[in-house]
Amino acid sequence: MKKGISRARKESNVVPPTTTGTAGLSAGEVAARVEAGSTNVMPDFSSRSLWDIFRANVLTLFNAIVAGSFLLLLLLGQWRDALFGFAAASNALIGVIQEYRAKKSLDHLAVLNSPLARVLRDGAVRDIDVEGVVEDDVLVLRAGDQVTADALVLDAQGLEVDESLLTGESDPVGKEAGAEVLSGSSVVSGHGRAKVIRVGPASFASRLTAEAKRFSLVHSEIRAGLNRVLRWITVALLPIMAIVANAQMQQQGGWQQAIATGGWQTGAVGAVASIIAMIPLGLVLMTSVAFAVGAVRLARQKVLIQELAAVEGLARVDVLCLDKTGTLTLGRIAFDAAHHVGAAPPEDWARVLGWFGADPDANATAQCLASSFPNDDGAGPDSSVAFSSARKWSAASFPAQASTAGAWVLGAPEIVLDARDAGAVPVLEAAAVLAATGLRTLVLAHSATGSWTGQDEPVLPAGLAPAVLLTFREEVRPDAAQTLAYFRDQGVGLRIISGDDPRTVAAVAREVGLATDNGFDARQLPEDPESLACVMEDHTVFGRVTPAQKKAMVQALQRRGHVVAMTGDGVNDALALKEADIGIAMDSAAAATKAVSRLVLLDGRFDRLPSVVGEGRRVIANIERVSMLFLAKTAYAVILSVTFGAMLWAFPLLPRQFSATDGITIGIPAFFLALMPNSRRYHPGFLKRSLSFAVPAGLITALAILAINAYSLQLNIGTKEMRTASVIVLTLVALWVLVVLSRPLNRWRAIIIVAMYAALVLLLTLPPLRDFFDFEVLSLEHLTASVLAGLLGAIAVEVLFRFHRRSLNARPRALV
């Protein structure tokens, strides 16, 4: 790119030959188009405003209730009971940051990355900013340039354009006069001029960018499940709050007396305690922390996570769609083999191939010959013809005194050789067989006396005889076969999707270990979504796929219930990558492709994906375990709030006491559990599995607390003692929930559990802690009853866990 532009600066006063005679636009014509708005300025709209993000994450009924409770406690001077406010603020802040990061990636998305455009104006070539290009401008295109606006070719000499970023086809496309070139494509050989026909928002690059900028967050089953729980809690909060508030006021002698005596303040603290207890504030925070730590671990392996929940996503993937060029292959052609088919001595045609490979104007395919056929003697031809994709051949004529005397033509066998020639028939048949395996095939033919001189264009020399068949292949990534074998072993379905010929794609697929036929031609794909889904289920390899079809194919798989990951590196992959549950970009990907991807392999190592899957499994399995702790707490808080409210009992714990028990039974241990190794495979149904254990566990905990409170009321024990007894029972039962969910136990998990039991003892015995949390020393009888209630609750939790595990083992796809 830069090389092409710098060359233009040196030649800024040189106008290439033209068949049109145009001198480009005049200054006045340019000014008129600028005034009319026909410029190449791309629309600078934001994918989502910061206000929208802030409103979605902060200005919610859920946060309003939490913030109101927090402010009420501060106004009442009960700051020790308002510790939950920090967790709530952290949750909202993390949500804003995550979505803002995704927004910034999309806002910086660009398909065009050319620093300057080369245009013809007033008869002179000028370098201008891309945004300065106007409709009807004449672009001067040379090798290395990126096309900056959609244009119609006026004249061309060997002009070939790489459209792989747009279409997925790796072969350069020849462009003659009248052909269209799209913004975002690159010139790989030749030169020419093209008249701009679409600029700015109407150009191909802009339309693709606008579609890719559509805001979306990666689908996370964990996040979706937690959001569903939070919605349920939000709906339940107001009526439960009314029930609890009424009970608290009745404990103060009724509403009138509570308001008259100031007892409403004590009742308000109890009501807030019940509300905050129902909200799993730490679960959202812990989930985000686990995702973030996973992202940091993967960053050390050169894997960039652009959205935290993507760590989970790849662990759930059951279909992986792969682009061929740049993903399975390195995006370059490699020489495969030479097949001697003629009478010419190998040393002669090897010398000729050495020149073709060393030719500065050689295309990418011919350049592959340089390493296998060195140009040792440096002798060049008398004359030559550059390769043209329209002709599909190049040629060179060597002097009569050389051993390689005569005309040599390198090109497509079906073009170079005459099928009517009996000597050419077996060579053409051999070439067809090689091409059917996906190899690119060329023939080198020799004519002792022929000439390619024609009236207007070069023509094939007469008397061409084949000398050697040459085969080329795309260079496959060395790590591709091993990585795909891993996914097959893990039960992940594979789909190879490419814009290239289906036979070529199938050959690459076989090279990386996939058993397949000759591939499915996407030009025959049905448009009906259901029929398309059936084809996607039945076939593995697809060729001639357009960017729009790639997106539709991903959607078809998703409609069948699959969780789809898509890898790619071209702009043509951007829409499919964005639509997929997880988009994975290679290091060589275009800027637009990286912007819409959830993961970027920074070093281009395809074998990083298994470690990403492993990290995702660790995160998702540990979060599922932790979620059971938090949801069990929500369950017993709801049951306690409703039950105590209905019975007109004072709520059994203060907010600060709930904060203490949360820290011991959930917060601190959950932090460590969420970061520990865990290689369990994930299966759908996270929320159902979590609730099927958490709700019964919460019921057991609530019954144990109800029991000790009923016992305390019979003994006519004071409020502080009742709350202390409730904390003991709650902590003992909840700690056993932690024990069963930490299995299988290892040294570190055992240390954490023992430390939490020790923390409970310190909390109840150390005077500063006991006074801060408003605990009281219990009588021996009351303490014994509390411990006994806690132990009975722990036994019930053990029975529940064993039953729950057996029921999951009985289901064929349960996570155990």
- Which residue is listed with tokens 């996040």? 223
Tokens read off for 380: 């060049």
CA distances from 137 to 25, 121, 149, 372, 383 (A): 6, 8, 10, 44, 36
Distance CA 283, CA 290 (A): 10
Identify whether 345 is preceded by a cis peptide bond (ω within 30 of 0): no
Cα angle 34, 36, 39 (rounded to 5 degrees) comes to: 45
Number of residues that make up the chain: 816
A 10 A CB-CB count for 670 gives: 29
CB 137 within 8 A of CB 25: yes
CB 616 within 8 A of CB 680: no
Nearest-CA neighbor of 307 among 95, 163, 78, 45? 95
Distance CA 581, CA 315 (A): 11
Alpha helices in 647-766 (DSSP H): 655-662, 668-673, 686-714, 719-741, 747-765
Distance CA 228, CA 71 (A): 26
Nearest-CA neighbor of 808 among 651, 683, 715, 665? 683
Active-site residue, selected from the candidate residues 137, 155, 318, 323: 323
- The DSSP call for residue 432 is H
Distance CA 657, CA 15 (A): 83
Looking only at the bridges linking them, the beta strands covering 599-601 and 303-305 are antiparallel
Distance CA 573, CA 498 (A): 9
CB 447 within 8 A of CB 409: yes
Q: How far is CA 477 from the centre of its chain?
A: 21
Distance CA 164, CA 143 (A): 16
Looking only at the bridges linking them, the beta strands covering 186-198 and 138-142 are antiparallel
- Residue 52 among the catalytic residues: no
- The DSSP call for residue 147 is P
Nearest-CA neighbor of 151 among 139, 169, 165? 139
Strand partners, 142: 191
Distance CA 40, CA 186 (A): 17
Distance CA 610, CA 605 (A): 11
- Which residue is listed with tokens 């969420």? 674
Distance CA 439, CA 336 (A): 8
- For 595-636, list the strands marked E by DSSP: 599-601
Residue 205's SS3 state is: helix
Angle between helices 84-107 and 61-75 (to 10 degrees): 140
Q: How far is CA 659 from the centre of its chain?
A: 37
CA atoms within 13 A on the CB side of 487: 30
CB 303 within 8 A of CB 612: yes
Catalytic residue numbers read 323
